[in-house]
Copies of this chain bind each other. A is one copy, B any other.
Amino acid sequence: MSGIPDLAAVEAMDATDPLRAMRDRFILPEGVIYLDGNSLGAASHAVFGELQQAATQEWARDLIRAWNTAGWFEMPIELGDQLGRLIGAAAGQTVVCDTTSTNIYKVLHAAMEMRPGRSAIVAEGDSFPTDLYIAEGVASTRDGVLLRLAGVDAPTIEDLIDENVAVVLVNHVNYKSGELRDMAALTRRAHTAGALIVWDLCHTAGALPVELDQANADFAVGCTYKYLNGGPGAPAFIYAAQRHHGDISQPLSGWWGHARPFAFERGYVAGTGIRRFLCGTQPVLSMRALKGALAIWSDVDMAALRKKSVAQTELFIQLVEAKCGAYGLTLETTRDATRRGSQVSFLHDHGYQIMRALIERGVIGDFRAPSTIRFGFTPLYVSYKDVWLAVEVLEDILRTGAWKDQRFAVKEAVT
């Protein structure tokens, strides 16, 4: 076992971790090693503080006046700018609102309008499913739109990008395998064919440095409840490059996107810039929780975050392969750290039962059909010791066959 870190070695890594102090800002239950922040991030003291203030001070005390006094109305823009700093977006290009699914719908419509005469939407066959469902929905309302999928209609997404393509919808990190795409390269490829590109950042925003402006991206969407820790179902976001702002039109044309939302005019007149993606009244309490979560990031060095994330995924792979190699696990995630998000997936024929057994033992990851067990590493609150202990538990479950217990065989929804 030479070269495999022992407990003392990982404790030493924690001792010198520059992000170590961040963990205290979060609330983590006793007895839990949480490796599912890529599905739902953890709660923080800052979130509780904002929620408390929004509910008991602003709403209860100021009532309707809080829309102005507490700045509720500008929150989508202000939180958008704050979030923009984490994804390489200069101010005025990001807005927080609605859900990722709804935002994909808006963005795809906008992109199709900007490329009249082109009929194809290109996406990945192994995309996060809701992206494809929404692309189908967009296609259903537009004549002659084709949805072409990598892995189905051609081997790779690059193969599908031609002069008939209006827009490419792509996941920056694949939710299952954890594979990270080269944003700048694929964006260039799309632009060379005259197509626009929409990046789904659900699995990268807050997980690693993202450089939308630098990559010359057109649009991006994402959620805020995974690595950004905004809370369950926290509002999502949209990014649109400044150069497109004058051309944005989308059919979810609700009052909040109007040029004069308080004038109560009869006809719709689109507002300016990124506001054109706003539609209805946003859930203020959930939005304020997100405000607390985003505040934490002003103290985070994204380069240090990425460094720790890579070290943790490397450590996890190394430990699992060294200690659990005999039990039929196959690494699904790439070994190339530069092409890996902040997660590691293994395949196992009995992955569902293994994950259930892990969760019962307090090691929380998740399962994705048919056979993926998935572990997310959130550098803000996961320690190297957590990584080491998680593998200890996994090894024990595999060695003893604890996962074969009947109670783990009954399928339950695992969100």
Binding site for B on A (CB under 8 A): 27, 29, 32, 34, 36, 39-40, 42-43, 47-48, 51, 55-56, 59-68, 72-73, 98-102, 105, 109, 125, 129-130, 132-134, 136-138, 140-143, 149, 152, 223, 225, 231-236, 249-256, 258, 262-268, 279-287, 289, 359, 364, 366, 368-369, 412-415
Contacts and interface: CB of A to CB of B under 8 A. Distances in A.
Q: How many copies, total?
A: 2
A302 B282 CA distance: 29
A412 B69 CA distance: 12
A84 to B, nearest CB: 21
Contacts of A289: 55, 285
Nearest to A359: B65
Q: Of residues A39, A234, A285, A359, which shows the largest number of chain B Cβ atoms within 10 Å of its Cβ?
A: A285
A99 B280 CA distance: 5
Contacts of A253: 133-134, 136-137, 140
Nearest to A62: B29
Given A109-B141, A134-B254, A232-B283, 12 more contacts: A40-B67, A43-B55, A47-B55, A59-B231, A98-B99, A101-B254, A129-B255, A132-B267, A133-B267, A137-B251, A137-B268, A138-B251
A353 B192 CA distance: 57
A68 B251 contact: no
6 contacts: A64-B415, A67-B232, A137-B250, A140-B253, A262-B414, A283-B285
A73 B251 CA distance: 28
Q: Of residues A134, A136, A281, which shows the largest number of chain B Cβ atoms within 10 Å of its Cβ?
A: A281
